[in-house]
Amino acid sequence: MKNEITTTNEVSEKVLIEYLDVMGISSKLEEKEKHQFLSIAKTFGLNPFKREIFCTVYGEGQYKQLSIITGYEVYIKRAERSGQLNGWNAITTGSVSTNDLKAIVTIYRKDREHPFVWEVFYDECVQTKRDGTPTAFWKKANFMTKKVAISQGFRLCFSDELGGMPYTKDEMPDNEVLDIEHEEVKQEIQPTKQKEFNPVKQKTLPIAQKENIDKALNLKVSLDEIKKRYEVSDDLEIYYNNVNNELNK
């Protein structure tokens, strides 16, 4: 059977702009950056309210970083829609302590005689903090390495269906984690103070953004502490609890 690009559901520009407004991102984007996000989302039919695409902005000025990412589950769903996916599995071998941890994903296609096999090494994709230690998410080494292998493997195996789609956050360079702290560095706060998350009492609390939640999770800050500093929406509270539960498994 001839391989065909999978059709996707259209996502209106109105929905995408609403997402940027709700998440407080619109004001942080330049016009060309907003156009880039809208074009990618519409081209691939990615709905941000279904958690199929995310847009985050870190830092300011020369330190500003724009990230447009997706989740590895989207790759799997699109591969299933193609009608050619005939099963897959992912395993890990080795360990961090012996410096040989790797993840192997095997994907079977109905239109190919042999399975597609892809492997990823932990030490080539692990994201670290300034001191060289893994970030909070990457402390689950097997799980995170497996996610990267799945993402890369499905993109390569289903290149027509997934080619050009955004990468996952797990594959992005670790400088995005560092960029969260740019403001603190510019204020000449001592390194030991950079990771403090002290509540600030205000009459009107600012509305929390997704990057605030990600930073708090990375620093292992409780949801109660976050609420002392920010107004947290129901969606972000659910997001915090889901990620926190995953990290604590």
Amino acid 194: pLDDT: 44
**pLDDT digits over 235-245, tens only?**
777 777 777 77
Amino acid 65: pLDDT: 83
Amino acid 180: pLDDT: 34
pLDDT top residue among 5 and 163: 163
221: left (phi over 0), alpha (psi -120 to 50) or beta: beta
Ranges 1-10, 102-111, 186-195, 229-238, most confident? 102-111
The closest alpha carbon to 226, from 241, 242, 208, 244, belongs to: 208
Residue 209 has pLDDT above 80, yes or no: no
Residue 122 has pLDDT above 90, yes or no: yes
114 belongs to a structural domain: yes
SS (H, E, C) 168-236: EHHHCCCHHHHHCCHHHHHCCCCHHHCCCCCCCCCCCCCECCHHHHHHHHHCCCCHHHHHHHCECCHHH
42 contact partners, CB below 8 Å, separation of at least 6 = 10, 11, 13, 16
Which residue is it, tokens 């689950």?
A: 140
Residue 138 has pLDDT above 50, yes or no: yes
> How many domains is the chain built from?
3
Exposed, middle or buried: residue 89 (CB in 10 Å: 0-12, 13-18, 19+)? exposed
Average pLDDT for 189-216: 56
User: In this structure, what are the phi and psi dihedrals at residue 169, rounded to the nearest 5 degrees?
Assistant: -60, -30
Amino acid 8: pLDDT: 57
Q: Could you tell me the pTM of the whole model?
A: 0.64
Claim to verify: residue 62 and residue 86 sit in the same structural domain: no
Claim to verify: residue 85 and residue 152 sit in the same structural domain: yes
Residue 172 has pLDDT above 80, yes or no: no
Can you give the residue range of the structural domain that contains 147? 73-172
33 belongs to a structural domain: yes
Claim to verify: residue 19 and residue 105 sit in the same structural domain: no
Mean per-residue pLDDT of the chain: 80
pLDDT top residue among 57 and 220: 57
For the chain, strand residue ranges (E) read: 54-58, 65-69, 85-93, 102-109, 116-121
Amino acid 4: pLDDT: 45
Which residue is it, tokens 């604590």?
A: 248
Claim to verify: residue 161 and residue 202 sit in the same structural domain: no
Token readout for 79 is 């591969």
Claim to verify: residue 61 and residue 91 sit in the same structural domain: no
- Other C-beta atoms within 10 Å of 188: how many? 7
Claim to verify: residue 63 and residue 79 sit in the same structural domain: no
Range from 28-32, 56-60, 132-136, 242-246 carrying the lowest mean pLDDT: 242-246
Amino acid 249: pLDDT: 63
| CA separation for the pair 86, 114 (Å, rounded) | 11
